[in-house]
Amino acid sequence: MEYSAKVLEHFANPHNVGKIDDADGIGEVGNAKCGDIMKIYIKVQDDVITDVKFNTYGCASAIATSSIATDMIKGKPISEALKLTNKAVVEALDGLPAVKVHCSVLAEEAIKAAVKDYYDKNGIKYDEELFKPDNCHYTHEH
């Protein structure tokens, strides 16, 4: 299986690893089929994600996608973070092996889950459609 240099770099030296104790939102998603579990913590100020950390238990692709996805939303408005797609994550990593693309979906879903948690905790109204899981991504086996 061929990994891009960027995937290997983010796997070997992942950015934003850790936990935010007083996080404003926490999103945890997992794919039981392949054992990848991703937990993302966000700090929010004035609708901007000021800090983000993650803990991921999983394969190189899951760790690399968590790392680059957190880089991509840090310092960005929530509205922009919610638009982050797994396709953008894959492109930022210069591609992923086809059987690993589902890992990038986990990053997208963990971010959405963290934002939803933030909205719920603060009683902020949101459009349910934004947070509907798209389960068609989970057809690949490891």
Any idea which residues carry the catalytic annotation?
34, 103
What are the two backbone dihedrals, phi and then psi, of residue 131, each rounded to the nearest 5 degrees?
-115, 15
Name residue 45's beta-bridge partners: 48
Question: From its phi and psi, is residue 69 left (phi > 0), alpha (psi between -120 and 50) or beta?
Answer: alpha
Residue 25 is encoded by which pair of tokens?
């939102």
Are the CB atoms for 73 and 52 separated by under 8 Å? yes
